[in-house]
Amino acid sequence: MINSLEINNNLLYYFVYGGKMKEKNKIASILKNERESLGLTLKEVSNKIGFVHYQTLSSIESGKREIKAWELAKLANIYGRNIDFFLWPDERKKETKILWRTPEENTKKESIRRTFLSFCEKYKNLLELSGEKEEKNNELLLSLTKNNLLNRYSFEYVSKIASDYLNLLQLGSRPACSLTKILEEKVGIKTIHLELDPEISGGSTVGDFGMAILINANDAPWRRNYDLAHEFFHLITWNYFSPEEIYKKDKKGKNRIEQLADVFASAFLLPEDELRDEFRKKTEKNYITYLNLVDIAREFSVSIEALLWRLVNLDLIKKDAVIKELEKGSIKDLDRKFRHIYWEGEKPYISARYISLAIKAFQMGKISKAKFAEYAGKKFSEVSSFLKKYGYDENEDYSVAYSIT
Amino acid sequence: MHIVLLDADVIIDLHRFHIWDQIVDKNKIYISSIILRHEVYFYEDYKGIRHNIDLLKDIGLKFHEISISSEELKKFSQQFDRVFEPELHEGEKEALKILQDNNEILFCTFDKAAIKAMALLGKREQGISLEKLLKSSGIAKKIEFKHTEKYFKKYLDEGSIMRIQGRGIKK
């Protein structure tokens, strides 16, 4: 939709100016499209930028008034774009699609999409700037069979894939503990945490920057782990299903691919042998207390619901009892009370690795402090205290190095 | 008296050291619009308490605002080799473009990438460290390592080496 509008405007100017569109008018037409695509009015944007009269913006958008660099920088910021998006429109890459966890359209999604993709691009730049090798993840992707993913034994097949990935990635007996780090550093999946509304729990995408996952930083740690594993499934099956297939619901209103992603996440975070072992240890005379169940969920860093359903799938507890208990809610209350403390810690900010790369690039003088602020999503004035928080001292000489024997 | 264009970190630290007024009294100060309107909002004292910096009220009184058009910004950016350039923010690009067009202006910054870029553009003679600016303004103040002439020169030299080696700037 956005692309077609841009093309129409370009054509319009082509006829008006009888040839190549003037630079000023090119920027003007993109600015107008950007504002309209976000559903913003001239007045709203004028207020944000600090124009007294909205006519100023209107003149800029119609190409009548020259746009200052500072005005373009502010507008780019408001529209969630890099300034290069307006300066070099011909070099613009194809818009990358995101597979959202919830397909429903939401007015905030376009703005979140831009922020997420912008961090993915920046992540790629930072890897290059700081001289870190981008992981080639192709050999870490197992070959799957689409037919097996869709037949009546697909749940077993997906559980087996989860188990194979656990071994391949050497995630150990408590996969959630190192999942983010392994996916980022070993598989090369860029994992971006943003503070999102509860109805948007995340998504995944594949672009020029590689594979990336968006996680809601506001969610509980165990929910984030689950979402990460769920989205990982979508990435390893990225070339097997179209978005239409993924969102398609059956007669019962259930979504087969999403169910598979849940089965995968569950088997991935709760490895069968380790879970059976832990369950056996905490069982007394054919009973397991709620407290012990909460303890197992905490141990594996998954939600109590995820644990209960995994136990049902492994035939360790009865499905009816779980449905009844989850409806009643007492085990969920107990879980919330006992794990409240684990949720009080600091929320993840973008990605620990991303921030570390940005600090490295800044320290090496590859990016300026103002550029670092942009990379870190901070105001320039906040950068010094932000760097201090991460242990970086601007006055320290970090070029001191050991010689290698 | 110098004619000086100040970078954002310099403005913030001059406020942090409470010597802003002395510097503007003794020099003709310019601030580029992006730095003025995007970057300088507050400084933090040694206790971490934030103090607002309101510069907009002093435009034309204590200093001059200077800006470039988006077309000029684009042309300026085109000089750099995208693979090797130190990645600069638009604020620094605007400041460096002003520097390129005005030989009498000096640029005061302690940003490594900005200092390097200055030398890369062959403008090292127009760079001034905060230490030197304070000295020439007759201000005695205990400064940090990043404000020193030594620090400034180190990164100017890095930029000059890149220039000699033909890295960072398109041929």
Query: C-alpha angle with apex A357: A85 to A190, nearest 5 degrees?
Result: 65
Q: How far, in Å, are A208, B2, B86, B93, B114 from residue B119 at the CA level? A: 33, 20, 11, 13, 9
Residue-wise pLDDT tens digits, B130-171:
999 999 999 999 999 999 999 999 999 999 999 999 888 887
How confident is the model over A359-385, as a mean pLDDT? 93
B49 touches chain A (CB under 8 A): no
Under 8 Å CB-to-CB from A140, ≥6 apart: which residues?
A168, A169, A186, A187
List the single residue in A with minimal CA-CA distance to B41: A381
The predicted structure's pLDDT at residue A270: 97
Strand partners, A207: A210
How confident is the model over A337-348, as a mean pLDDT? 80
User: Rg (Cα) of chain B, in Å, rounded?
Assistant: 16
Q: Which helix (H) or strand (E) holds B16?
A: helix B8-16
For residue B54, which phi and psi values (nearest 5 degrees)?
A: -110, 95
Residue-wise pLDDT tens digits, A292-306:
999 999 999 999 999
Residue-wise pLDDT tens digits, A189-202:
999 999 998 877 78
H runs (alpha helix) in B27-168: 33-34, 70-77, 90-101, 112-120, 130-136, 149-165
- Cβ separation B39–A129 shorter than 8 A: no
- Cβ separation A385–B94 shorter than 8 A: no
Under 8 Å CB-to-CB from A48, ≥6 apart: which residues?
A74, A78
B39 touches chain A (CB under 8 A): yes
- Cβ separation A365–B90 shorter than 8 A: no
B75 touches chain A (CB under 8 A): no
CA–CA gap between residue A183 and residue A213 (Å, rounded): 10
Q: Measure B65 CA to nearest chain A CA, in Å.
A: 12
Q: Which residues of B touch A379 (CB under 8 A)?
A: 39, 41
The predicted structure's pLDDT at residue A8: 39
pLDDT, averaged across chain A: 87
CA–CA gap between residue B15 and residue B34 (Å, rounded): 19
Is pLDDT larger for residue A290 or for residue A10? A290
Q: Which residues of B touch A27 (CB under 8 A)?
A: 70
CA–CA gap between residue A14 and residue A5 (Å, rounded): 14
Residue-wise pLDDT tens digits, A35-54:
998 889 999 999 999 999 99
The predicted structure's pLDDT at residue A10: 42
Comparing CB atoms, the residue among B39, B69, B86 nearest residue A366 is: B86
How confident is the model over A307-327, as a mean pLDDT? 93
The predicted structure's pLDDT at residue A110: 85
The predicted structure's pLDDT at residue A86: 93
Q: Measure A147 CA to nearest chain B CA, in Å.
A: 44
Comparing CB atoms, the residue among A73, A368, A379 nearest residue B113 is: A368
- Cβ separation B67–A125 shorter than 8 A: no
- Cβ separation A73–B72 shorter than 8 A: no
Residue A387 reports pLDDT greater than 50:
yes
- CA-closest candidate to residue B147, choices B30, B5, B17: B17
Q: What is the pTM of this model?
A: 0.88
Q: Measure B136 CA to nearest chain A CA, in Å.
A: 23
Most confident of A94-103, A343-352, B40-49, B142-151: B142-151
- CA-closest candidate to residue B8, choices A216, A276, A368: A368
Q: How far, in Å, are A133, A166, A404, B117 from residue A186 at the CA level? A: 11, 13, 25, 35
Comparing CB atoms, the residue among B9, B12, B90 nearest residue A73 is: B90
Lowest mean pLDDT among A12-21, A110-119, A359-368, B105-114: A12-21
List the single residue in B with minimal CA-CA distance to A88: B74
B16 touches chain A (CB under 8 A): no
B134 touches chain A (CB under 8 A): no
The predicted structure's pLDDT at residue A135: 62
Under an 8 Å CB criterion, which residues of A touch B? 23-24, 27, 50, 66-74, 77, 83, 86-88, 125, 129, 361-362, 365-371, 373-374, 379-381, 384-385, 394-395, 397
Q: Measure B114 CA to nearest chain A CA, in Å.
A: 6
B113 touches chain A (CB under 8 A): yes
Q: Measure A116 CA to nearest chain B CA, in Å.
A: 20
- Cβ separation A368–B88 shorter than 8 A: yes
User: What is the 8-class DSSP label of residue B147?
Assistant: G
Residue-wise pLDDT tens digits, B66-113:
999 999 999 999 998 877 677 899 999 999 999 999 999 999 999 999
- How many Cβ pairs within 8 Å bridge chains A and B? 125
Q: Which residues of A186-199 are buried (b: 16+ CB within 10 A; e: fewer)?
A: bbbbbbbbbebeee
Q: Which residues of A touch B114 (CB under 8 A)?
A: 368
B48 touches chain A (CB under 8 A): yes
Residue A9 reports pLDDT greater than 60:
no
The predicted structure's pLDDT at residue B1: 81
Q: How far, in Å, are A48, A57, A58, A346 from residue A53 at the CA level? A: 12, 8, 9, 42
